Amino acid sequence: MMRKIEHIGIAVKNLEESIKNYTLILGVPCYKREKVESEYVETAFFLTGENKIELLEAKHPDSAIAKFLEKKGEGIHHIAFDVEDIFKEMERLKLEGYTLLNEQPKRGADNKLICFVHPKETNGVLMELCQEIR
Ligand code: CMX
């Protein structure tokens, strides 16, 4: 079961400028910046109440974010759902016939284990499962 939306990921061209923009829009400062080397991205996080926004900038042309920006431009890149047990949830989705984009959970930003489901099978929205590393 997906428990709640953990965050919404937004692909941006320039993280520095976008942090300034979102600080003004949301009225709260960015609480964390983090590079995820394995995904070739740099991220910045904001909290508004219980809601989390992640800005993502590509750090390499092979990054999924670079390809997304090229094809679609800036905008919502993924919706991440919090799960209690990512292994169990991945198994459940596999049994339901969904295509997981990684066989094993990966280490993501903000202390999470993550896995993606192909957007072609989720009505055009890239879905991320994430479990807090405890
Ligand atoms: N949301 C919705 N649709 C998307 C998408 C996204 N984020 N990214 C790609 N697509 C679409 C493509 O536009 C394409 O559509 P069309 O066939 O209509 O043109 C379709 O999905 C399939 O694309 P593809 O050519 O098969 O594959 P891509 O090379 O574009 O890769 C994807 C797409 C989702 C498989 C790849 O980006 C991926 O594996 N993503 C998971 C990892 C990731 O996104 N990492 C970055 C974030 C890391 C983090 O949060 O820390």
Beta carbons of 72 and 91 less than 8 angstroms apart: no
Express each pLDDT in 42-57 by its tens digit.
999 999 999 999 999 9
**Nearest-angstrom CA–CA distance, 53 and 85:** 22
9 lines ligand 1 (CB under 6 A): yes
Burial (CB count <10 Å: 0-12, 13-18, 19+), residue 50: exposed
Predicted complex ipTM:
0.96
7 lines ligand 1 (CB under 6 A): no
73 lines ligand 1 (CB under 6 A): no
Distance 124 CA to ligand 1 centre (A): 9
State the pTM of this model. 0.96
Backbone angles phi, psi at 24, to 5 degrees: -70, -45
